[in-house]
A and B are shown apart, each in its own frame.
Chain A
Amino acid sequence: MEGLVIPDMTLFIREVSEKGNLGALMSRMIDLGIGGILTLGWWNLKNLTHLVKMEFAYGVLLLVQIELIKLKDEKADYILISDQITDLSVALKTNVILESSIKIIKKIRPTIKVGVMTNNFVRAVSQFYEWGLKMDLVVTPINSYGYEMNPNQTEVEELIKMNDKNKIAALTTGNKVKEREYLKRLGIKNQAWVNGDF
């Protein structure tokens, strides 16, 4: 299965340091062409006051939307919201970005499955519940070393046990036998590699 991860925050941050926030956003918007810009405008009619006030969450949402328009013809089974966006939302306890992104993705690509990536699985899942957010997949580091299984390996393992394993994908660093066995023991069938198939 293939998934698209949006937005590419690392690239965006690099552009921000050269062009500034507005400059980086504008150059991406211009790439969309007239049709794309009009779509973006339509989606953001009711967010206009927030955008004029330069509210952070709506700026990030705009970035997600731009990438969504760009990738609208790309074939994929999943669209995943990047870990930087998810973890930022969880840290700031703001559901605007995730909720609105999921809504728009479902609207424009009703058949596609939507998920998130996170490096803070336990905290994120608890926050998703509080927000009433439902998603088809959560991609998170799961490995026999406990690397990036936050806050710790035991809590992540226990939470996995209590949840639907089909909705969890392990972000792994390799396809070693040891890792495969570990995931099998946890009942995780989905493995993910960034920039690759999963």
Chain B
Amino acid sequence: MKETILVTGANGFIGKRTVEILLASGFLVKALVRDDNFCRLKPHKNLEVVRVDICDYEKLMKGVGVVDAVVHLAANKYHPQKSFEVSIKGAQNIVRLVGEGRVRSKRVVNISSQSTKIKWQGVYGKSKSKGDQIIMNASGIKWTTLKPSLVYGDDKNTIFKTIANYALKLPVIPVIGDGKWKLYPIDVDDVANIIVKTLKNDSTVGKVYDIGCEKGIRFNELVDLIQNELGVRKKIINIPFGAGLLAVWVATKIISNLPVSIDNVLGSNQDTYCRPRKAIKKLGINPLSVVEGVRKYLKEKKKIKVAIVGLGKMGILHATILATMDEVEIAAVVDIDKKLGKTAVSMGFGARFYEDLTKAIETEKIEAVFICTPNFNHWDIVKVCLRYDVPFMVEKPVLAKYEDWYEIDKKMTKKVRDKSMTGYFWVQKREIRFIKKMLLRKVIGEVESYRINLKHGEVFGRKSGWMFCKKLSGGGVLMNPGPHAFSVIRFLFGKGKVESSRIKYIYGNEVEDEARVGLKHGKIAGELLVSWSVKNEPVLKIEIEIQGNKGKIIFKDNKLWVNAKRYDYEEIPCEREVFNLNPRSGGDAYYLEDREFIENCLLRKNTSTPLFFAKEVEEMIFDAYKYAE
């Protein structure tokens, strides 16, 4: 029968990894998690989460039931009262569980800290010492106490990442004290493995082990090692211990979530005489060296360097979506407006601001560009991308003048042609993808005709701004929201030939407010109505009706009917996992198009809307204008 292990403090940095390794080793795990917080453990069939406060024995007893052994990690790091409460009460309750026969083997692996060994202890060191004494002095318990040195990992608050952050962002690296004390940093994976090995090894009962890497390193040397790995060189400024302690004490009173604590300062200025070799020998382990550890967690994964040009609504939207993708580094944000640049930089993308794309590409070695400016700027930016052979994703419409496409065709390399794409987010929408699937499966037989309406309530009078100036925008409703409808037509039926076109100027603007276009795709006849002057339509809407020789597809008001069978919008599955910023304004579709572009740049996958797709969409639009003239 599998053994059941109770892990206290399972939601914490070491606890989370310990739970994973225990589960991977075949144990059943009861993970104790505070009841006032959300649990972030990964679900597993052998994992049971017990949501109780370790200080509340009645609830603890009921929640835990009976287990085979305990890994005791629970602690509250720096709170002056709670730290003692959790360490002392927590230890007492573990002893009580064993005493009442709720731990079959009476085995407890108690995780302590090197901070319990120093002379001048902070809250954490003092409270942990008291907890250790309760467990180690109790009778009838088969305890082993492990005292890890600094534990590091992928968590951004751990030592390597914190130093790396300082080295990258600060002009100098402040170190409190002389930096000559030795530490034995250990990888969280090694700590978790040691805990599991200790649990299985009865000869460790009644013993205390220091846990760390085999060869220690002085703090200043560690800072240098990390700087070497990052390829930076900043001066280390050693702050006198007393002054540093006072500064941190004052700062903790003013700032919450300070990255340094009093315990950190005390712990990092007194030698603990950590002796990890005893445990290494006894448990037959081979922990990562500091050099290997630094490489493991600080070695940069290959990321694609991206520039966002245009920091309006669309630029910020794309940047935010890209910020959720691990394989993307937003290296530059570009706009002619410095104020927008400042705000974009403050969003924390880690990007530098440029007023000029050329400079951004040259300085940052940009590999992909997102063009999110107004239409009239597209062509100038595209030209820069073509000159530097950088693939781009451009918001629709690509060009305000169709003739410029000839220029693109001439200058475009294979790389740019294969990887670039256009932001027609309607094509990414799940309902449109679903309709395409239905058409391919011939669910309604051969398509005979279709009718598409694009409705938006935006223009009900004279308007100003670039969008209403024909020279800048290239046109009105056909040119601006229009490409959404034309891209859907191109995606579902291929490129069509414009057979009729009528445009209307309802409110006396320089550009049109409504258009009716007739299209022909071989035997398929299509009708399109686009209008941005439809009352009570605050959000852009597309309605589709497709007639086949065996049935009909209707998409209207987020409802889809295929041959009279109704699908609610929620029933249509999304093809991929997404990070959705706002479902009400096509959030998942934006995510999907950005992911397609990035994957295409990295892995050469095909995109749904490459440049030739955009060219065909825009050819239909320009033909509609031509026909109307």
Contact = CB atoms under 8 A, between A and B. Distances in A.
Given A56-B343, A91-B321, A161-B43, A84 B570 contact: no
B339 A164 contact: no
Most chain B beta-carbon neighbours within 10 Å: one of A16, A88, A143: A88
Contact of B36 (A55, A134, A146): A134
Nearest to A126: B40
Contacts of A164: 35, 51
A13 B312 CA distance: 11
Contact of A162 (B35, B49, B342): B49
Interface in B8-62: 11, 33, 35-41, 43, 47, 49, 51
Interface of B: 11, 33, 35-41, 43, 47, 49, 51, 155, 257, 313, 320-321, 323-324, 339, 342-344, 346-349, 538, 568-571, 573, 577-585, 587-588
Nearest to B39: A162
A119 interface: yes
Given A91-B320, A158-B43, A148 B583 contact: yes
Interface stretch (A28-36, A66-74, A149-157, A183-191): A149-157
A49 to B, nearest CB: 12
A91 B324 contact: yes
A57 interface: yes
A170 to B, nearest CB: 13
A65 interface: no
A92 B323 contact: yes
B590 to A, nearest CB: 12
B584 A10 contact: yes
Contacts of A14: 538
A132 B577 contact: no
18 contacts: A53-B342, A53-B346, A84-B582, A91-B321, A91-B324, A91-B581, A92-B323, A92-B349, A123-B324, A129-B40, A130-B40, A134-B36, A145-B568, A150-B577, A150-B580, A151-B578, A152-B577, A163-B49
A17 B314 CA distance: 12
Nearest to B33: A162
A163 B35 CA distance: 9
A119 B38 contact: no
Interface of A: 9-10, 13-14, 16-17, 21, 50, 53-57, 59, 83-84, 87-88, 91-94, 119-120, 123, 125-126, 128-130, 132, 134, 138, 143, 145-148, 150-152, 155, 158-159, 161-164, 167, 173
A92 B582 contact: no
Given A83-B582, A162-B43, A162-B49, A56 B346 contact: yes
A151 B577 contact: yes
Contacts of A10: 584-585
Contacts of A155: 43
Contacts of A88: 320, 581
Given A132-B257, A162-B39, A54 B577 contact: no
B35 A55 contact: no
Contacts of B324: 91, 123
Given A17-B313, A163-B38, A84 B346 contact: no
Q: DSSP class of A's interface residues: helix, strand, loop or mixed? A: helix
A125 B38 contact: yes
Most chain A beta-carbon neighbours within 10 Å: one of B49, B343, B580, B588: B580
Contacts, number: 116
B339 A54 contact: yes
A163 B39 contact: yes
A16 B313 contact: yes
A59 B316 CA distance: 14
B486 to A, nearest CB: 23
Given A17-B313, A87-B582, A152-B577, A92 B347 contact: yes
A55 B346 contact: yes
A6 to B, nearest CB: 16
Given A10-B584, A91-B581, A151-B577, 9 more contacts: A55-B346, A57-B346, A59-B343, A83-B582, A92-B349, A125-B38, A145-B570, A148-B580, A150-B580
Contacts of B588: 148
A123 B42 CA distance: 12
Contacts of B36: 134
A91 B579 contact: yes
Nearest to B48: A162
Contacts of A53: 342, 346
A174 B577 CA distance: 24
B416 to A, nearest CB: 29
B95 to A, nearest CB: 27
Contacts of A138: 38
Contacts of B39: 125, 129, 159, 162-163
Contact of B41 (A87, A120, A147, A162): A162
A54 B346 contact: yes
B214 to A, nearest CB: 31
Contacts of B570: 143, 145, 147-148, 173
Contact of A57 (B321, B347, B581): B347
A55 B40 contact: no
Nearest to A164: B51
A94 B323 CA distance: 11
Contacts of B11: 129
A52 to B, nearest CB: 10
B343 A129 contact: no
Contacts of B313: 13, 16-17
Nearest to B342: A54
A87 B321 CA distance: 10
Contact of B571 (A21, A56, A145): A145
A150 B592 CA distance: 13
B584 A129 contact: no
A143 B583 CA distance: 15
Nearest to B35: A164
Q: Top 10 closest A-B pairs, CB basis?
A: A158-B43, A147-B570, A55-B346, A151-B577, A162-B49, A119-B580, A145-B570, A129-B40, A56-B347, A126-B40
